[in-house]
Structure 1
Amino acid sequence: MEAPLEDFISAQKEVLSDGKWIMDGNYSNSFDLRSKHADTIIYLELPLRVCLYRVVKRWLSYIGKTRPDMGEGCYEKLDWQFVKFIMTTYFPRKKKMKKRLEDLQRSEPEKIMVILKSKQEIEEYLLN
């Protein structure tokens, strides 16, 4: 079950109050809060086919199980509604993030922005 937005934002603020942190996820509701406190933003923009492949692979790996990064009792599931969500939101979300990152870079040019679009780019970035 997803936490209420108020609880989620409160938890984000608590993490942000610490001096150093790393957060992942594309949670639109807390992007402004997180980006305000970030010195570096790494955005992974993998192709839709890769996203879909990984969703199916993750589902096959954890059918009937709880992933280590999820709360107990939250079993991995895959249904048409989720696949449809990924497919229908992928391009609009990509466009929105591009604008968001461009606006942020204009207003706060000291922030480091890294956009990685492939597994190879991710690996090369991690090696440097």
Structure 2
Amino acid sequence: MIYHGNRFTFRPGVPREQLDQALESLRNQGRAIPSVRSFVVGRDHGGEFEWGATFVIDDLDGYWEYLVHPSHLHTDRVGLPLVDRFESFDITDDPDPEFGAKVAALHRRRFESDPELTALITGLGSYTGSGAPAPRQG
């Protein structure tokens, strides 16, 4: 089982309507992507971020389906331009010692196949997570 988490803070001055649209798009991912078993989207408490989302997925095949699903791509397009800081992480009970490297490879494969997404990610104020491309400097 994989718990894929995202934590993020929106840029100052983002209109509430756009913020709500991005959060609803995240919720739609949970409803629309077949490999997502359950999900939560809401306020992040106890850290440096304002919002968070967690998606529960069975395995790496489902993880790939999640990464490339059209509803996830839609969230990237409407949400990432509004985000300042972003962090993704994964928690799993999979005993494979190569699990982290396999997840990072999926993310890198996704970024390599989608230059527009890579530009959105590298344009963030900060992004950490599996397979994260280096942020733009200056």
Give the TM-score normalised by structure 1.
0.34
**Which structure has the bigger radius of gyration?**
1
Normalized per residue, the structure richer in strand is 2
